[in-house]
Amino acid sequence: MKNLYSDHISIKESDIFIKTDLKLAINEAIKSIKKNREILERYIKKYPDFKTSFKPVKVSKDAPLLIRMMALAAEKSEVGPMAAVAGALADLGMDVMRKIGAKVCVVENGGEISAYSNIQIDVGIYACESILSEKIGFRLKPKDFPIGIGTSSGTVGHAFSFGVADAAIAFADNATLADAAATAIGNEVRGKDREK
């Protein structure tokens, strides 16, 4: 088993966990996330609908990469672009880690995971008070990467959801799309719990 390094950091609303085989990659991922958060904040000041819309928002082709990523995922999932923000920040952080040579790159941002690895990684699911919380998960093998995992909840965290799912999970080629897709799935989960 390789020596792995990890760090946990909060940057405003972003609650980030990073794991890697290359210590320098942690700092590079954090720098990327900070820079892209600033880009998002500037964009939202100019285009406030991007933050408040629950539907896809068209953006120009010359918009910053983060903004284009979020808008595309929102369009594919039929949700507002902020439904993809945590996943997009995770993707951009993970991409920087890969570019500098890390072989194990995991960025988790508020339940959204962007990962690439040459070793097996186990991912657990946190679902607040659910009896299944932290009892189920997924084993990811090197052939599964790169991967994005999105989690949406109507009971955990500060993100808005129209649904009541403890944890709606989506997998995609990237965390941006997985984040938006999990939101779309979570928004549809309604009704009373039949188990209670």
Q: Does residue 196 belong to any structural domain of this protein?
A: no
pLDDT tens for the chain, residues 1 to 196? 568 999 999 988 889 999 999 999 999 999 999 999 999 999 999 999 999 998 999 999 999 999 999 999 999 999 999 999 999 999 999 999 999 999 999 999 988 999 999 999 998 776 666 666 666 788 999 999 999 999 886 555 555 555 455 668 899 999 999 999 999 988 776 666 655 5
Q: Does residue 195 belong to any structural domain of this protein?
A: no
**Run of H or E including 23:** helix 23-46
Residue 151, both tokens: 């989690």
Q: Does residue 111 belong to any structural domain of this protein?
A: yes
The whole domain housing 145 covers 5-188
Question: Dihedrals φ, ψ of 146, to 5°?
Answer: -70, 155
Which CATH number do you get for residue 174? 3.10.520.10
Domain count, the chain: 1
Separation of first and last alpha carbons in the chain: 43
Please report, for residues 117, 156, 189, 196, the alpha-carbon distance to residue 192 in angstroms, rounded to integers and kept in the order given: 39, 17, 10, 9
Please report, for residues 71, 175, 180, the alpha-carbon distance to residue 171 in angstroms, rounded to integers and kept in the order given: 18, 8, 10
Q: Does residue 193 belong to any structural domain of this protein?
A: no
- Residue 44 three-state SS: helix
171 near 148, Cβ under 8 Å?
A: yes
